[in-house]
Structure 1
Amino acid sequence: MDRSLLLITIGGELAALDSAAIRSVVELEAITPVSRAPRHIVGLSALRSRAMTVVDCRRALELPASDARGPLAAVVELDGFLYALQVDGVEDVVPFDGEPAEIRAHLQPGWARASLGIVETIAGPVLLLDPARLIEGPPERKAA
């Protein structure tokens, strides 16, 4: 079965999302902050009059923040709710046929938690990310 992947960049790294999970790619405009939200939740925005939660993928992957991040987001729907996965860049849509392979390299904890495996694309090998794990974000850290 032929599939396609959306190639994205996060923290200077090329990664992929399964295109079947992507509803659209948007430029975010107004984002309304939400008090007491987890650190990786930027706030709320709207897409065609539907509210969506904006997720900072850098923070979800426990990467350093960057001022260079643009307003691009891949929109996914999970359990009836819309989420805008804010990324640094959207590169291309590429074909993919097969299943993700096991990752045999040591990854930083955020990448390891959010990755489904490694896929070979025309752009080279990339990590296939699970949108649900990005939305979940990093584990909560308890104060000592």
Structure 2
Amino acid sequence: MKGLYLVARIADQVVAIASDRPGNAVELKEITPVPRAPRAVLGLAALRSWVVTVIDTPRAIGLARSSMASNQAVMATVEGHDYALLVDALHDAVALRPEPLDGGGDLPVAWRRVVRAAAVRAGERILVLDPATLLDSIVQPA
């Protein structure tokens, strides 16, 4: 099914995240840490008069954090809660037609947990990141 996606880069991988509007690409100003939160939760940020939970997306995937300090994020709403998923760079809002991946065998292990589909744009494969699966992978500290 064709839909609108925000295309971004996370740890040298081009990804797409479903979006109902291009305004879901945001730049965060200040992030307030949350005590005892899982390591992938960087904290909370005020954004357009509401508070969102900021996720260190590479860490949530299981990758090393990028050396670039980015404040760019893609907004995602999962089960009624708003999240800002940090990315290394934002590119475009585009219409894509993702195709399901068969087991993701050619993907690195960390990506297999959070990617169920991919699309091709200008000859480049773009992995479609599933925010709900990404957030499920964040484990609370013991």
**TM-score calculated relative to the size of structure 1:** 0.84
- What is aligned with 1:88? 88
Between the two proteins, what is the percent identity of the paired residues?
35
Question: Distance between the aligned counterparts of 2:23 and 2:133, measured in 1?
Answer: 17
Alignment pair present for 1:100 and 2:89: no
Cα 1:10/1:21, change in 2 over 3 Å:
same
Which residues of structure 2 form unaligned runs of 5+?
none
- What amino acid maps onto 1:52 in structure 2? V
Question: Distance between the aligned counterparts of 1:124 and 1:11, measured in 2?
Answer: 16
Q: By how many angstroms is 1:123 displaced?
A: 5.1
Give the conservation status (yes or no) of the 8 Å contact 1:5–1:17: yes
Cα 1:112/1:2, change in 2 over 3 Å:
closer
- What is aligned with 1:73? 73
- What is aligned with 2:117? 117
- What is aligned with 1:133? 133
Q: By how many angstroms is 1:66 displaced?
A: 2.8
Cα 1:135/1:10, change in 2 over 3 Å:
same
- What amino acid maps onto 1:93 in structure 2? A
- What amino acid maps onto 2:37 in structure 1? A
Which residues of structure 1 form unaligned runs of 5+?
none
- What amino acid maps onto 2:108 in structure 1? Q
Question: Distance between the aligned counterparts of 2:23 and 2:136, measured in 1?
Answer: 19
Question: Distance between the aligned counterparts of 1:4 and 1:103, measured in 2?
Answer: 24
Cα 1:110/1:104, change in 2 over 3 Å:
closer
Give the conservation status (yes or no) of the 8 Å contact 1:75–1:84: yes
CA deviations on 1:13-64 (whole Å, 9 max, x unpaired) are 1111122387611111110000111110000001122111000111011111
Q: By how many angstroms is 1:133 displaced?
A: 1.8
- What is aligned with 1:25? 25
Q: By how many angstroms is 1:121 displaced?
A: 2.3
Q: Would you identify which runs of 4 or more consecutive aligned residues in structure 1 move more than 4 Å?
A: 138-142
Question: Distance between the aligned counterparts of 1:21 and 1:109, measured in 2?
Answer: 30
Cα 1:20/1:102, change in 2 over 3 Å:
farther
